[in-house]
C-alpha cells in the first residue's frame, strides 16, 4: 500500500511541477490532491522518494522537483493513454485530409503536432530506397494545372500539383503519360534523377515545355523519396521553454539543426508495449539533448519512418504521448487509403 501511495505522491509532484515549474511542497500536495493521508505521511513519502532518487530539492526550499529517474518512473506507470478530445480529433482529420500531396501532408503533420503538444515536432520523410516507378498519372485540374501522381512498386503514392506555363488537353496528358512510362517505368526511384537527365523522350515540339515541367517535378519527387531527412515545426515552443534548460538551450537548438543527429536518434528508438518510444534526458545518448525528452512512434507501413516531439524533460508526458500516437495513427490511415 505504501508503495502505491508513494507513486501517487510522485505522480502528483510531476503533474504540479509540469504545470507550475515551481518546486512542490507537501502543503501544495495536500491542497491540490486528494491523497487521503496526513501532511506527516506525505512528508515521509517525499523523503522516501528522495532517497530513491526520484525527486530532489533544487535548493534550500522545502519543495521538490522530479529527477530524470522520477520522470522515467512516472512515464512507465502510465498504463492507459487517454484518447484525444473530439475537437482535437476533428482538427487532425481536417488538416490532414485537405493536404494535396505527401510533402504538404508531412509539413501539415508536424505543424499540427507542434500545436497540439507545444513542443518541437519532427517527422522522418518516408524513404523508398529500393522501390521503383510502377505507374504515374497525369490529371488535368484546370487550363494550366496538372496533378502528377507517382506510384512506387512498394505501394507508396506521392502527388504534386503543377502550375504549368502552357495549356493542354486530356489527350495530351494521356500521350505524355504513355511516353514517360515507356521510358522510365520499372527503374528504381533512386536512379530516376540521373536517368531523366540522359533519357530522350520523343514528343511533339508543342508539348516539350510541358514535358520538361513534368519531368522536373518527377525528379524532385523521386529525389525526396530516396533521401533521408526530417521535417520540423515548433522550434519557437522550445525557445519559450528556455528556463527549463539550466545550462543553455543552445546545444539543443544546434542538435535540431543537424539532420544526422536526429536521424541517428530516430533509428535507435525502440517502441514499448504502448507502441511509443520515450527517451528522457541522458537516455537519448546524445550529449546536446541530455536535458531534453523525446516521444516518438512509427507511422505508415515502414517501421523505420517515425514522428515525434522533443521538449524539456518537464513536459506533459500523458498529453504528448496521446497526441503523438493519435497523429501517427491518422497519418498512417490516410497514407494507406
Edge-first strand listing for the sheet containing 120-124: 230-233, 120-124, 306-312, 292-298, 277-280
Average pLDDT, integer, range 115-141: 90
Of the CA atoms within 13 Å of residue 73, those in its CB half-sphere come to 21
Q: Is the pLDDT of residue 127 over 80?
A: no
Q: Which domains does the chain have, with CATH numbers?
A: 2-76 (1.10.10.10), 86-126+228-336 (3.30.450.40), 133-226 (3.30.390)
The neighbouring-strand residues paired with 323 are none
pLDDT digits (tens, 9 = 90+) for 37-75: 888 898 999 999 999 999 999 876 678 999 999 999 999
Q: How far apart are CA 307 and CA 316, in angstroms?
A: 17
Among candidate residues 211, 221, 209, 152, the one with its CA nearest the CA of residue 179: 211
pTM: predicted TM-score of the whole model, two decimal places: 0.77
Instruction: Please check whether residue 23 is in contact with residue 65, taking contact to mean a CB–CB distance below 8 angstroms.
Output: yes
Nearest-angstrom CA–CA distance, 82 and 78: 10
**Long-range contacts: 89-92, Cβ < 8 Å, 24+?**
89/326, 89/330, 91/116, 92/326, 92/327, 92/330
CB 289 within 8 A of CB 258: no
Amino acid at each position: 500500500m505504501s508503495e502505491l501511495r508513494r507513486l501517487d505522491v510522485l505522480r502528483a509532484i510531476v503533474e504540479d511541477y509540469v504545470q507550475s515549474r515551481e518546486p512542490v511542497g507537501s502543503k501544495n500536495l495536500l491542497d491540490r490532491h486528494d491523497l487521503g493521508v496526513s501532511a506527516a505521511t506525505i512528508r515521509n513519502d517525499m523523503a522516501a522518494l528522495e532517497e530513491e532518487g526520484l525527486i530532489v530539492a533544487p535548493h534550500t526550499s522545502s519543495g521538490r522537483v522530479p529527477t530524470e529517474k522520477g520522470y522515467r518512473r512516472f512515464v512507465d506507470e502510465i498504463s492507459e493513454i487517454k484518447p484525444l478530445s473530439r475537437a482535437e480529433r476533428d482538427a487532425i482529420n481536417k488538416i490532414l485530409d485537405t493536404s494535396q500531396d505527401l510533402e504538404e501532408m508531412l509539413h501539415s503533420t508536424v505543424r499540427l503536432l507542434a500545436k497540439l503538444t507545444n513542443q518541437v515536432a519532427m517527422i522522418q520523410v518516408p524513404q523508398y530506397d529500393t522501390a521503383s516507378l510502377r505507374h504515374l498519372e497525369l490529371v488535368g485540374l484546370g487550363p494550366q494545372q496538372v496533378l502528377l501522381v507517382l506510384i512506387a512498386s512498394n505501394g507508396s503514392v506521392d502527388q504534386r500539383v503543377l502550375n504549368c506555363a502552357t495549356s493542354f488537353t486530356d489527350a495530351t496528358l494521356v500521350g505524355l503519360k504513355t511516353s514517360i512510362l515507356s521510358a522510365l517505368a520499372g527503374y528504381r526511384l533512386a536512379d530516376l534523377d540521373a536517368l531523366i537527365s540522359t533519357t530522350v523522350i520523343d514528343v511533339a515540339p508543342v508539348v516539350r515545355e510541358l514535358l520538361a515541367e513534368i519531368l522536373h517535378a518527377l525528379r524532385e519527387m523521386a529525389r525526396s523519396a530516396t533521401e533521408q531527412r526530417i521535417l520540423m515545426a515548433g522550434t519557437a515552443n522550445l525557445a519559450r521553454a528556455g528556463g527549463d534548460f539550466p545550462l543553455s538551450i543552445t546545444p539543443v537548438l544546434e542538435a535540431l539543426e543537424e539532420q544526422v543527429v536526429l536521424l541517428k536518434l530516430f533509428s535507435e528508438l525502440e517502441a514499448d508495449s504502448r507502441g511509443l518510444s520515450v527517451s528522457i534526458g541522458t537516455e537519448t545518448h546524445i550529449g546536446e539533448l541530455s536535458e531534453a525528452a523525446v516521444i516518438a512512434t512509427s507511422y505508415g507501413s515502414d517501421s523505420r519512418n517515425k514522428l515525434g516531439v522533443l521538449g524539456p524533460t518537464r513536459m506533459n508526458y500523458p498529453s504528448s504521448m496521446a497526441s503523438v500516437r493519435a497523429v501517427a495513427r491518422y497519418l498512417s490511415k490516410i497514407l494507406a487509403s
